[in-house]
Structure 1
Amino acid sequence: MQVEFSYNKGQVIQALRYHFLTKREIRLLVILVNVFAIFAAILFYLHRILPLAFLLSSVLWMCLMGALWFFLPYSIYRKERTFKDHFTAALEPQHFFLSTSKGTGRSWSWREFSNYLETPHFFHLYFDSRSFFLLPKSAFGEGLADARAILRENIKKA
């Protein structure tokens, strides 16, 4: 199965957010900061802490959410040239082949991928916990079910 695709900025940003929120340490950090913010709000309401302490906890919460929701995804999108290129991908029984509009190509055996994750707009093909490739689901059109089957057969799901 062969497909051609380019990336949509909004969809890539959302996919990068999914990537960050699937990481255990980031989820734990978000949960702890949210619990801390709720606890600070309760203490402020009960007049147990000063308004400055509540303000600082609120600023901490806003900074963390801003970093995860805006700063990290947008900074990665700006740095990576990959998201501005046009690709041709081939999902074959033995390997995954990818070539760019500039003519450069690369092939990976399916066993080189550790797992994959399906999100609303992409398949995230992970090499390890930090490096992955985004494969747009929109590129497959009617062949989306076939693409899912190929990935399910060759890569374990996250």
Structure 2
Amino acid sequence: MTVSFSYDKPKVLQALRYHFLSRKEIRLMIILVNVFAIVSAALFYLKKILPFAFLVSSFLWFVLMITFWFILPGVIYRKAATFRDHFTMNFEDKGFTLGNERGSRSWEWKALSTYLETPHFFHLYFDSRSFFLVPKIAFSDEQRSEMRDLLRVKVPRS
């Protein structure tokens, strides 16, 4: 199966958010900051702490959310020339090939450590930080189903 695609910036930014929020260490950090904010709000309400502690926890929460929702995806998008290219991918039983106007590269399925399916993309992970986004819009409905089956059989699920 062969697909061709380019990237749509708003969808890529959303996919990068999914990537960041799917990381265990980031989820743990968000949970801890939320628990800290809730505890400080309760203690502030019970007049056990000064308003400063509540303000600090609220500030941390806002900074964390703004960083993972806006800043990091924007920085990654601007730095990666990948998102401005046009690609062709060929998926076969042995592996897959990625190509653009400058060349192509092939991988066996075992090169992927895991995959993640989000509303607009298939995230193909080589390791915990290295991944490639394949837009679902590039596939017909039948191809999308075939791709899911291929990934399910060939690649471990995250």
TM tier relative to shorter chain: over 0.9
Q: Distance in 1 between matches of 2:11 and 2:127?
A: 22
1:136 corresponding residue in structure 2: 135
Per-residue Cα deviation, 1:40-74 (whole angstroms, up to 9, x for no partner): 11111111111122111111111111111111111
- Partner AA of 1:106 in structure 2: R
SS at match of 2:127: coil
Moved over 6 A (4+): none
Q: What does residue 119 of structure 1 align with?
A: 118
Task: State how 1:1-158 maps to structure 2 within 5 Å.
Answer: 1-100=1-100, 102-142=101-141, 143-158=143-158
CA distance in 1, matches of 2:147, 2:25: 30
2:83 maps to a residue whose letter is F
Unaligned runs of 5+ in 1: none
Deviation for aligned residue 1:151: 1.4
Alignment RMSD: 1.0
- CA distance in 2 between counterparts of 1:112 and 1:53 reads 47
- State the alpha-carbon separation in 2 of the partners of residues 31 and 106 from structure 1: 39
Alpha-carbon separation, structure 1, partners of 2:151 and 2:104: 20
